[in-house]
Amino acid sequence: MLIKIPFVIEFVSLIFLHLFLMNITNYISDLLYRYECVIIPDFGGFISNAKSAYLNTQNNTFYPPYKALTFNANLVQNDGLLANYIAKAEGFSYDQALVVIKETVAIWQGDLKNKSTVELDKIGSFNLNPQGQIVFEPQLNTNYLTTSYGLSSLIASQILSAKAQPVIKLNNQPKVFLKYAAVFVIGLSIIGVSNKYYQDYQLVKQNEKAQAQQLAVQNRIQAATFVISNPLPSITLQNTYEPKNFHVVAGAFRNPANAVKKLNELKNQGFNDAAIIGLNQWQLTQVVYGSFALKEEAQALLNKIRRTDTEGVWLLIQNQ
């Protein structure tokens, strides 16, 4: 019985992809050090927020600044970040990386349906609550804030009161030596006090000089008189600017270079009003076909685009 070569290659490739599934957690962890949002397509997204150092009064321990890790099950739209990173790291194609992610998510979802806990090393664990919603419990041993690298927790020690130092008695020294020593100490004290008074005196003089200069400047400003012999006639400016709060969005990208590439594609397709309007709340760069002051105009363009391209395009309304 002969086996077709393409079938063997595809079968071996799938086995290799299955063996790789265990490493996807490492790539998610790597990205959490670099980005504030890492999305796992069709599963959810991790969001990290920097937090300040704090003191745990229960165990009397100081903790360094860190990133608080949360999970949002609504962030399921693929932004390409994880797939591109896996493909580049492993030498996969982008489509192969998507297969790896898809199969990994299928395994996780199957475990959750079977009431099993999904553990992600260095990240946290997932479970389903009675309502069937995913509950994420972050792992606190890993700090994804790179500026806190090398910093560890510190137990605050109690400050003990200093013990009195023993007094050394000079019973065998001549009284004359003690007298001269006392005179020497008093002399040093007088020099120290004199030096302090001299420094204070100089500081007072400097402050008085600075105040006098500032007062003179103020007096000159108050005494100045500005006269315009031939004033210009007053004019009324009319503000004709209308804010453009309705945007027809073509896509949002984690990598700014991909956003520029998309913008150039739209320009080449004849969308001369295409533009980049900045970052959204997930720090993704947004590219639009156009922005309008009236919702009707934006809706008209949206309907026109959807006749030929039904994926990805949507209407964004801002500052209403």
More confident site: 55 or 248 = 248
Q: Is 273 exposed, middle or buried (0-12, 13-18, 19+ CB in 10 A)?
A: middle
Three-class SS state of 194 = helix
HEC readout, 117-169: CEEECCCEEEEECCCCCEEEEECCCCCCCHHHCCCCCEECCCCCCCCCCCCCC
pLDDT recorded at residue 244? 87
pLDDT recorded at residue 161? 43
Range of lowest pLDDT (117-126, 173-182, 311-320): 173-182
Q: For residue range 185-229, what is the model confidence (pLDDT) as tens digits? A: 555 555 555 555 566 667 767 767 777 776 765 666 555 544 555
On the question of pLDDT at 167 being above 70, the answer is no
pLDDT recorded at residue 281? 84
On the question of pLDDT at 20 being above 80, the answer is no
For residue 315, the tally of other CB atoms under 10 A from its CB is 15
On the question of pLDDT at 241 being above 70, the answer is no
More confident site: 144 or 225 = 144
Angle at 254 between CA 250 and CA 256, to 5 degrees: 80
pLDDT recorded at residue 188? 57
Residue 240 banded pLDDT, cuts 50, 70, 90: low
Of the ranges 13-27, 44-58, 259-273, the best mean pLDDT one: 259-273
Average pLDDT, the chain: 77
Angle at 212 between CA 206 and CA 214, to 5 degrees: 105
More confident site: 281 or 183 = 281
Tokens 């998309």 correspond to what residue? 262
pLDDT recorded at residue 237? 53
Domains defined along the chain, listed by start: 5-155 (no CATH), 246-317 (3.30.70)
Of the ranges 14-28, 114-128, 143-157, 204-218, the best mean pLDDT one: 114-128
Q: For residue range 82-121, what is the model confidence (pLDDT) as tens digits? A: 989 998 888 889 999 899 999 999 999 999 999 889 999 8
Tokens 């760069």 correspond to what residue? 285
Q: Which residues pair with 287 in a beta bridge?
A: 251, 276
Residue 158 banded pLDDT, cuts 50, 70, 90: very low
On the question of pLDDT at 263 being above 90, the answer is yes
What's the pTM value of the predicted model, to 2 decimals? Answer: 0.44
For the chain, what percentages of helix, strand and coil (3-state, to nearest 5) are there? 45, 20, 35
Structure tokens at 118: 């999904």
pLDDT recorded at residue 264? 94
Range of lowest pLDDT (55-69, 104-118, 229-243): 229-243
**Quick one: average pLDDT of 134-154?**
81
Range of lowest pLDDT (38-47, 224-233, 263-272, 308-317): 224-233
